[in-house]
């Protein structure tokens, strides 16, 4: 009996991730962006601990892997799409897009589709055991949640509109599945020579955290992608 209960712990944590994603989606559809962000963050915490608990308890299973992907699709695919969907109803529309005002919000769910594709590729790609190729779904989700909560005033102002939002969605969908290597954040040692890029990243993130508030996550993830692109280009030379 005790062994049976222990075997269910990782899957129970994964289900908590799934529930958090469902609740975040409901909050997003009602425009409660702050709650959606919080629930997505809680889901990310559960997502971190389910795999860790499975390894510690040595109870990894095929069903756990499938359940984890399903939960991630909701928390890191559907929930941010719901936030963007509601935002599309708040942003301004240039004249030529006005006839599409009722249609444009549904393009937000491209994010859910590409997130699912990203997760499917990740499960089969053996190259991503120590680093990432393409933007991970949790990073993409935290970017959007942080952006919408931290810079909502700008996004609904006259300086931003539905076209920019649509283009941003398309760019992020591409980055989810693009063959772009992103440097790993794990430190094998504390040598400057071996971890120069990582140290630069960590040190430059500190002022963002101090001065940007909730919006810091969007800035940090954008900076992480830019720095990874710069690093990969230098290595290719």
Exposure string of 20-59, with b = 16+ CB inside 10 Å and e = fewer, is bbbbbbebbeeebbebbbbbbbbbbebbebbbebbeeeeb
Categorize the per-residue pLDDT at 63 as very low, low, confident or very high, splitting at 50, 70 and 90: confident
When pLDDT is averaged across residues 25-46 and rounded to a whole number, the result is 97
Are the C-beta atoms of 130 and 184 separated by less than 8 Å?
yes
Full-prediction pTM beyond 0.85? yes
Higher pLDDT, 129 or 170: 170
pLDDT confidence of residue 53: 79
User: pLDDT > 70: what percent of the chain?
Assistant: 92
pLDDT confidence of residue 33: 98
User: Domains along the chain?
Assistant: 2-185 (1.20.120.1760)
Are the C-beta atoms of 27 and 36 separated by less than 8 Å?
yes
What CA–CA distance (Å, rounded) separates 132 from 134?
A: 6
When pLDDT is averaged across residues 87-108 and rounded to a whole number, the result is 97
pLDDT confidence of residue 15: 93
When pLDDT is averaged across residues 142-168 and rounded to a whole number, the result is 97
pLDDT confidence of residue 128: 64
pLDDT (tens digit per residue) in 192-211: 777 888 889 999 999 999 99
Compute the C-alpha angle 159/212/134, nearest 5°. 80
Categorize the per-residue pLDDT at 130 as very low, low, confident or very high, splitting at 50, 70 and 90: low
3-state secondary structure of 131: coil
């Amino acid at each position: 009996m005790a062994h049976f209960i222990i075997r269910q712990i990782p899957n129970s944590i994964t289900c908590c991730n799934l529930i958090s994603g469902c609740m975040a989606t409901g909050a997003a559809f009602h425009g409660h962006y702050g709650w959606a962000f919080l629930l997505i963050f809680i889901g990310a915490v559960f997502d971190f601990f389910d795999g860790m608990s499975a390894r510690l308890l040595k109870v990894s299973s095929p069903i756990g892997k499938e359940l984890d992907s399903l939960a991630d699709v909701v928390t890191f695919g559907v929930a941010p799409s719901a936030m963007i969907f509601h935002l599309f109803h708040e942003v301004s529309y240039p004249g030529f897009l006005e006839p599409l005002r009722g249609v444009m919000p549904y393009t937000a769910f491209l994010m859910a589709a590409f997130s699912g594709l990203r997760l499917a590729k990740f499960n089969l790609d053996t190259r991503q055991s120590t680093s990432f190729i393409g933007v991970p779904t949790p990073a993409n989700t935290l970017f959007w949640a942080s952006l919408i909560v931290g810079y909502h005033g700008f996004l609904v102002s006259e300086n931003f509109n539905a076209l920019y939002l649509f283009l941003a969605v398309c760019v992020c969908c591409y980055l989810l599945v693009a063959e772009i290597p992103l440097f790993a954040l794990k430190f094998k040692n504390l040598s400057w020579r071996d971890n120069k890029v990582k140290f630069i990243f960590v040190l430059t993130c500190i002022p963002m955290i101090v001065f940007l508030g909730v919006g810091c996550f969007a800035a940090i993830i954008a900076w992480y992608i830019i720095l990874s692109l710069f690093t990969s280009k230098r290595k290719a030379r």
